[in-house]
A and B are shown apart, each in its own frame.
Chain A
């Protein structure tokens, strides 16, 4: 226990849900306050900036639906990452896994002679498998050769970015696209439909929500889920209990990468209708999903809500670009700030603050 002024700080081992929620909310608010300073430093009135964002997002249903649209890939990637983080596997590679899914979906849409009504299911399947493969590689590398997972997943992002660049500039470049680095447009049977007046490709959204539920159930109720949790929380105990690391981590990364791959399918089949340069396909969804998963504290269901929050930030980035002429990089600044404050505030959750009795001289730490 420590004393600061009139307050006593007591450690607590397991913070309750309201505390976790309150501290997380405080972190986001603090980040927005610092964001106000960034606006001010950029020569904008923070008040007017936030007002413009509010109008840009909440003004009408089509503009608000952009929040949902942006949240779709974040839900899928974020749910997958919560699973990986539960097993304490540092999957920083959702960006590359998403792009792998987009590539596979494009391959199926343009080059696989399949019956029209089977085309979309095959695209989703192919996207899942490609993302899963791109996720499986770092899992095997870590278990078999001790390759650091942060490095391998990150490097594979860059590898996939350049593979996509190569495809759209080279072999897959559409003959009808002249100077642009696009593939040909997908046939209609390979496109996802929207909710009316929006760009919300609802099928991907439904898939994401269902999978969030499934992964959550798997973590809580199945043997695999149990093993994932043990591997993450206490690797020594897992080894002692005879849990196979290679099986558990491989399955975790197949699912984690596969979910990100599905997000890639949604982007090409829902939004773009073709493969194009990686910066347009993803805009950093895979990296943002890390924050989505971290803020959700390992809960796939909570990741649905945190994905919505970051969908909001992406949509805000769009309206800042339109209303204030700010470059889209502002979303990176906000994402970084929120992440900083989240982990900075983490310590708060493990201390209870209350007014101490007067008069007594507490010296330093007692007990604890």
Chain B
């Protein structure tokens, strides 16, 4: 086997596998920047994956499937927002409940849909011109769906919004010091609702990508813990959309390699690599404590009650 070919296909597949992680992480970054942890990403992604598959298979249009996936996951996130923002319940427990519920419901409804390939999956693109560059062309500009590029552009846009606009200041202040934001006349509850639901929409697209583009079929539990990796990636990326791009594609590469290296090591041991690595990455970033860890939003995980400190 030639090295160049191996490298090209690895990078290209890593990019494709990183897409659901990227979309999920971008959404979770916004939710957490506003001060709400959502551990329900796994549940929202699997609901998105099932919805996208069921709608695409019935309507024959993967775009419509993705839209519905976003809406269903967004609705699930709305539930989380209601419980944590309005009822001020524990964010961790609510997110776990959402994951349990989502995995159960998708498994229940998905029984009859299992094992059939999707009739018309999302088309892959060949970027005109750029795809003919040697090495880089086949690495980055062939065999990707539109969601790869939209995801990267979205990360840029979200970064600008978060760090260069007034809108971003509002979101960040709600996550850092809701009492101050409240005193300045910002509707803390509304901002949190919007950010959590936005996170759900993106997680839904990420899940849907799995079932209509990456592996156009539906199998129960097909998200295989990606939602939890998303939570780790959010921390790893220091709540920064641009760093999320690198983190997502790095873990995409890990996932891909866990299939690729099966000639050398037992497949089961390779499959545990991304999960082990998530811990290692967080542990290593713990060494540079002062510089790395300060960036968690100060009010993350704390329900806001006016007049309480």
Contact = CB atoms under 8 A, between A and B. Distances in A.
Interface in B72-112: 79, 83, 87-90, 92-94, 96-105, 107-108, 111
B261 interface: no
Contacts of B276: 155, 159
Interface in B274-305: 275-276, 278-279, 282-283, 286-287, 289, 293
A151 B278 contact: yes
B286 A147 contact: yes
Interface string A136-147: 000001001111
A162 B97 contact: no
A213 to B, nearest CB: 26
Given A90-B92, A146-B289, A329-B107, A155 B228 contact: yes
A336 B104 contact: yes
Given A148-B282, A329-B103, A163 B92 contact: no
Contact of A150 (B39, B97, B275): B39
A225 B97 CA distance: 29
Nearest to B281: A147
A39 to B, nearest CB: 11
Contact of A148 (B87, B235, B266, B287): B235
B61 interface: no
Contacts of A156: 275, 279
B297 to A, nearest CB: 14
B231 interface: yes
Given A159-B275, A166-B268, A343-B89, A329 B108 contact: yes
Nearest to A155: B275
A42 B104 CA distance: 13
Given A146-B293, A347-B88, A163 B272 contact: yes
A327 B268 CA distance: 26
Given A147-B283, A332-B101, A170 B228 contact: no
A154 interface: yes
B269 A162 contact: yes
A203 B201 CA distance: 49
A162 B268 contact: yes
A42 B266 contact: no
B231 A150 contact: yes
Contacts of A158: 225, 228, 272, 275
B271 A162 contact: yes
Interface string B99-141: 1111111011001000000000000000000000000000000
A151 B283 contact: no
B283 A145 contact: yes
A279 to B, nearest CB: 9
Contacts of B83: 340, 343-344
B53 to A, nearest CB: 16
Contacts of B99: 336
B232 interface: yes
Q: Which among B105, B111, B275 has the highest number of chain A CB atoms within 10 Å?
A: B275
What is the predominant secondary structure among interface residues of chain B facing chain A? helix
Contacts of A340: 79, 83, 94, 97-98, 101
B264 to A, nearest CB: 14
Interface in A329-355: 329-337, 339-340, 343-344, 346-347
B283 A141 contact: yes
A336 B98 contact: yes
A151 B235 contact: yes
Q: Which among A92, A141, A154, A330 has the highest number of chain B CB atoms within 10 Å?
A: A154
Contacts of B87: 343-344, 346-347
Contacts of B231: 150-151
A182 interface: no
B100 A336 contact: yes
A169 B108 CA distance: 28
Interface string B210-232: 00000000001000010010011
A166 B266 contact: yes
B291 to A, nearest CB: 12
A252 B275 CA distance: 24
A176 B263 CA distance: 26
B272 A330 contact: no
Interface in A214-232: none
Contacts of B105: 329, 332-333, 336
A278 to B, nearest CB: 11
Nearest to B100: A336
A145 B286 contact: yes
Contacts of A184: none
Nearest to A41: B109
A315 B92 CA distance: 27
Given A155-B232, A169-B268, A170-B266, A333 B282 contact: no
B184 to A, nearest CB: 21
A335 B104 contact: yes
B232 A339 contact: no
Contacts of A207: none
Contacts of B94: 340, 343
B228 A154 contact: yes
Contact of B89 (A90, A332, A344): A344
Contacts of B266: 166, 169-170
A162 B235 contact: no
A294 interface: yes
Closest 6 CB pairs between A and B? A332-B104, A336-B101, A145-B286, A329-B107, A166-B268, A339-B97
28 contacts: A145-B283, A146-B286, A146-B293, A147-B279, A148-B282, A150-B231, A151-B232, A154-B228, A155-B232, A155-B278, A155-B279, A156-B275, A161-B272, A170-B266, A290-B93, A294-B93, A329-B107, A332-B103, A332-B104, A335-B104, A336-B98, A336-B99, A336-B102, A336-B105, A337-B101, A339-B96, A339-B101, A340-B79
